[in-house]
Structure 1
Amino acid sequence: MKSYRLSVLAAVAFAVACGAASNPDVAASAGDQQLSVTRLADILGTSQAPLEKDVARSIAELWVNYQLVGVAAAKGDSLSDKKTMDEALWSNIDNIRVKKFYDNVSKGWDTLTPGPDEQRYMNGEALAARHILVKVDANATPEQKVAAQKKAEGIRAEATTANFTKLAAKSDEPGAGERGGDLGLFGKGMMVPEFEKCVLAIKPGEIGPVCATSFGFHVIYRSPYADVAAKFAPVAKQRNVQIAESTYLAKVESSNGVELTSGAAVKAKAIARNPLGYGKDNGKLATYKSGELTASEFANWVAAYPPNSQIRPQLLNAPDSLVEKFVRQIVRNELVLHQADSAKATLDTAELSNLYLNFKNAVTQTWSSLNVEPSKLADSAKAGGDKAKIAAARIESFFDKLIKNEVPFVDVPYPVAHALQKKFAFSINDAGLDKVVEKAKTVRATSDSLKAGKGAPGVPAPGGAPAPMPMPTPDTTKK
């Protein structure tokens, strides 16, 4: 049975402090410390990261988290009282509760069969093929393309179902000869669209006409069911679960009368750009019989994905139709959470104790990694120093070294960051970030670091080509 746990990095309440908001030269503040626009512009400008506001915000948020770690350490606050830990661990707690609910409701899903395996394979529920590739380089001339197509046509004329495996030795794909051109079993969407379209147009057990893709020209033999029956059986069983799950969730949505509000996709993209900025926005993205999905709730769900999922840039670049599907899936997740609540799915003492222990270890590990353990701060303060100032100075020193790639990156785990941001004052100045980007452009233009080939700063920043956007699994968050 698949796991429904989502590794989460959930959103927190966002409050803009008056000092940072009124001072256009401050990009962010945490405790008594401030991150100036000039400093952040220098960091961004001398890096190789894109000169974008989202990148500036990412760096500012990292700085805030580090400084708040120092604030807690200086106060000797381990964040380990039960109320704080329960709030910090809401995602972990609810994930376990929902998984327990799903373990019960999904019993027997893998045994549901929508039809005979062979018929399902013939209908394209999963695909299997062998192919012979005549490669065409991206910068190939028209004459080279014509020659490649002619070569592929010649192979096609020679190919039969009997000799196809041996003929695969002529393929330009590395290792194709040893595999007989076999691509194994694959699902829809796993191959480039042109190739998949060609496979679907061929009857199992037959060889199709030459197929053109961005890789070149392919001669394709769609494997008959007999060749893949053993491999298809477990895939079909997994698909049974997926089909049953999809049917179940569709029924949950329809029975609750889910409706998206006008402009939901536009607002969803705005939220994806800055989830923290919508932490208190009660505007509706969708409604259903027992409630509504607010902007702040959606922000929590968006932030519930780990950074490497690239969910925020993917939402920004996705068409509105896909963004709307994502919003609907978030509503489904909310509805499933309500069902888990009704089913009274709870954690036992051992599960809670384990979560608490991991949280406490995460706090102490983060202190140690940033060199602000309370005991060390106390020892340093014996000479007359102030623990808060000592902690802040050590954080600044670490941050400077991080920017220069002189120390490894330290992640502040979400539960720890959530607890810190709930407990201590911080702010991020949106107008200040605009100034950061403008100043960074000047810095970038005159930066000697890029000319010398220095690397980018060691801080994480959004960017890069987004992967296909995943839909969230039925999981849980709590506002």
Structure 2
Amino acid sequence: MSSRIRFAALAALCLATFPGCQQSQQKLSKEVPTLVNGAPITRTEVDRAAKALLSQSKMAQPVAPQVLEKAAQSAVDQLIAAELLYQAGSKIEVPDLERQVRDRIAQSRARYRSQAEYDKALGSAGMSQKEVEVAVRKDIVINNLIRTRFLPSASVSEEEIGKFYRENRDTAFRLGERVRVSQILVPVPEQASPALKKQARQKAQALLKRVQNGEEFAAVASLESAPPTNKNGGDMGILGRGEAVASFEKAAFALKPGEVSGLVETPVGLHIIKMMQKLPAATARLDEARGQIALYLQQAKVRKAVTQYAAELRAKAKVERI
């Protein structure tokens, strides 16, 4: 469950429109089928939002016309709610808003290896850099509204936590087979030259040999593994199925306690894995699940309150539609 509290309609925020700085000049048209207190919601946004909803629901292709129509209606409703929340949130000062916008965009940009790859991703989403900036700004403003207006009153009691655990213990809190492993990582960037890849493999093989010859795994990991995997002697903690890339998971779960793998290749580099402990399937105890339950229940309360607030805003708003 995500630690960020968001209203369900915010899934459509990446499709947000420009702020209505010229709202009085906006008129309904085929390209702008909806106005929310004068702020436009465009046909492009609606189509993009509907496509995102269909993608999330994993609908079989081709999609029936009536399903497309229903998705478009849901998209419009989400975009209207998001716009109303943004308008309400804009009345609350957000400290360092523009800096937050720049930082968020920089974090997103950092996930791509180059500007060209980032631009390609924007093109695939049908968005310009300006539209990204507006979407991020709206996201921050709305989350600030939620954080200041709704989060403080969404407290969760121990009784609520215990009741939820008892009612869902046998379904939501079943833990599959898990392993506790340590690793030594030699990073290999995907764009590395053949010479650099060869050098990295030679280093990884040398480190593996040191461990095989009896050198303490944790000591080698602390000295040689790439940050932050060198912390705590390379200890990764407990991993369940599906929490690591396929090649790493396959190698890790195949080991016996105390056993060390050969070189394991993943998109981030070459790994040497040591099995520290195998844990059988079990049910999480209440004390283990308490934090997760509290967060989930808090988010549920916030979502309910925000949904009701958005409905109240819509009842008072001027929503014009073709």
The alignment's TM-score, normalised by the length of structure 1, stands at: 0.32
* Structure index of larger Rg: 1
Higher relative contact order (CA 8 A, sep 6+): 1
Q: Which has the higher strand share?
A: 2
The alignment's TM-score, normalised by the length of structure 2, stands at: 0.45
